[in-house]
Amino acid sequence: GEDVEQSLFLSVREGDSSVINCTYTDSSSTYLYWYKQEPGAGLQLLTYIFSNMDMKQDQRLTVLLNKKDKHLSLRIADTQTGDSAIYFCAVPNNDMRFGAGTRLTVKP
Amino acid sequence: GAVVSQHPSWVICKSGTSVKIECRSLDFQATTMFWYRQFPKQSLMLMATSNEGSKATYEQGVEKDKFLINHASLTLSTLTVTSAHPEDSSFYICSAPTGTGWYNEQFFGPGTRLTVL
């Protein structure tokens, strides 16, 4: 089956860059996704990358995909306190497989 | 670990009928549950937040009269698709956090595949 792994915690200072990493075992999906979950709220789609791309930039967000190594990362530039949340990578196969989520804490 | 179940796992219905999907937290209480839908080969999209003992909160663009949510107990939330039409055919997934704290995990149900003929 599909395994999606993420580190559980990340703490950065406001203004720094945050990099959240995700590895997966297999994907036949056209897209790979990043979701954001703020405390007490449901998952919201943050960004996604087409599987034949290796990089996608969307304002402060940069998604990197290394298909050979099956590694997906999300970089948040100029991290703000409002970015504090749990970030899930999601790799669809026959169903949607989520990582355990990385809890990003941004300190002032 | 915590388990979230959904019933039924799949359902086929005629256009115009209503379908009820149940989401249960089996070994923990969930004051909040979330309902998502996923179209084939597309992303999971949050539909609504189900709150035990109060009205659900719907995301923009989701018709609350179309998708009725009832969170009757701390372990059960139901989603009723009323007067279903073929465009409602989708994969519906619920999730429940094990608590309200920052580090509480969120568990997903296995999903319900709805096909409206």
Average pLDDT of chain B to the nearest whole number: 88
Across the range A67-84, mean pLDDT stands at 95
The radius of gyration computed from the CA coordinates of chain A, to the nearest angstrom, equals 13
What's the pLDDT band for B98 if we cut at 50, 70, 90? confident
By the 8 A CB rule, do B50 and B34 touch? yes
Q: Which chain B positions have a beta carbon within 8 Å of A38's beta carbon? A: none
Strands (E), chain A: 4-6, 9-13, 18-24, 31-37, 44-50, 55-58, 61-66, 71-76, 85-92, 96-98, 102-107
B21 part of contact set with chain A, CB < 8 Å: no
Question: How high is the pLDDT of residue B2?
Answer: 61
Q: Which chain A positions have a beta carbon within 8 Å of B44's beta carbon? A: 33, 35, 43, 45, 90, 96
Question: How high is the pLDDT of residue B41?
Answer: 62
B95 part of contact set with chain A, CB < 8 Å: yes
Question: How high is the pLDDT of residue B1?
Answer: 56
B38 part of contact set with chain A, CB < 8 Å: yes
Cα B117 to chain centroid distance, Å, stands at 21
| Tens-place pLDDT, residues B18-65 | 999 999 999 888 888 999 998 776 667 889 989 888 899 998 899 999
